[in-house]
Amino acid sequence: MSERATAASPVTPLQQRSREADRPTSQLALFGPDQPLRLDCGVDLSPFQIAYQTYGQLNPERSNAILVCHALTGDQHVANVHPLTGKPGWWETLVGPGKPIDTARYFVICSNVVGSCMGSTGPSSANPATGKVWGLDFPVITIPDMVRAQAMLVDRLGIGTLLAVVGGSMGGMQVLQWASAYPDRVFSALPIACATRHSAHNIAFHEVGRQAVMADPDWRQGRYFEHDVRPQRGLGVARMAAHITYLSDAALHRKFGRRLQDRQNPTFSFDADFEVESYLRHQGSSFVERFDANSYLYLTRAMDYFDLAADHGGVLATAFRGTRTRFCVVSFTSDWLFPTPDSRSIVHALNAGGARVSFAEIETDKGHDAFLLDVPEFFDIARAFLDSAAAARGLGRTGTAA
């Protein structure tokens, strides 16, 4: 691939379905050839676009902006009806009027990461050099690449310093990268259920998912759009395997146990006899309707490559040395994807770097997905932390300078 790659902004099939839906579509920030995104792989991505949503009003001082970073298969629709699924925003438990991230007080930004498939430039976008979908010719992206693109969006919106950057899982990785790369632009940071690097355990699960996608005959070496097919079976299996890691054994047992699905006796076949089997198949089939298979490969790989310490000479504390950003690190007791020791490592590095940091381990059996679910203790902690940050920055209850 040449030193300067290009990525146009045509409408992909997923985006077209979004635009055809009888609901508002995302805002788009277009960056031309004069504003390339420098990627860690050494490629300049240009032109490119970022799809994003905003909620609330930016105050005259431009001091009440909060950036929400989405997780692996999330998107920009954090607090509005999703244009493809018709479902509520993926974090409406936390974001909205009167919620901990109060859109009556804060100006909330959520962008679709570069490499994804909900409007931002990624492998399902068209390559202007060929007129075909990028597919695997799209350059490999990283968490720092995503954050650099978000910084360009924040610049475009005329915002110097963010009141807070908030996110869980892959979104939490972005929060940590923001705080490390742009410490003067992040007043407070709320990384949730995440780590400063992906573990071998998590990389292994991602590889299983990628291999499931690539083993699907309809994947066609990543060129399925050219053949008017999609690797639905492989992507569905990948989603099923990943979804297991988002839950805990206790949560699965409480929800399903060993109950049979709509029958009194087993069929002695390979149908979905158990409720948990039917649930996972539903998760897989519904996922393939809204997500691009190649984007799944790219985003899982971006998480695998994330290693904040390695980017700072192998010393994690160096990533945060001298920072003035306020931190609140949150973990959940039943999260085996990003267990509490991962969060404690973040806290230790922040302490070594002289940062102002608080830490909360929340007791729950809901697993990794707890940050997306109804966990009142988490809501209380998030609200208190953001209230404290707003007060320290001189914001009143209405989001304007006190």
The single residue of 77, 198, 206, 368 carrying the catalytic annotation is 368
Interhelix angle 232-246/200-215, rounded to 10 degrees, is: 160
Active site residue 368: yes
User: 358: phi > 0 → left, psi -120 to 50 → alpha, else beta; which?
Assistant: beta
CA 31 → CA 8, 51, 114, 120, 153, distances in Å? Answer: 10, 12, 12, 11, 9
Residue 235: closest CA among 294, 281, 302, 293: 293
Annotated catalytic residue: which of 102, 335, 342, 369?
335
Torsion region of 109: left, alpha or beta (phi above 0 gives left; psi -120 to 50 gives alpha): beta
Say if residues 164 and 67 touch (Cβ distance below 8 Å): yes
Query: Quick check: is 169 catalytic?
Result: yes
Q: Which of 46, 63, 169, 180 is catalytic?
A: 169
Q: What angle do CA 200, 203, 205 make, to 5 degrees?
A: 110
Query: What single letter denotes the amino acid at residue 391?
Result: A
CA distance 250 to 189: 30
- Work out whether strand 126-127 and strand 27-31 pair parallel, antiparallel, or are unpaired: unpaired
Let me know: does 147 contact 71? Beta carbons within 8 Å. no
**Cβ atoms 52, 111 nearer than 8 A:** yes
As annotated, the active-site residues are 169, 335, 368
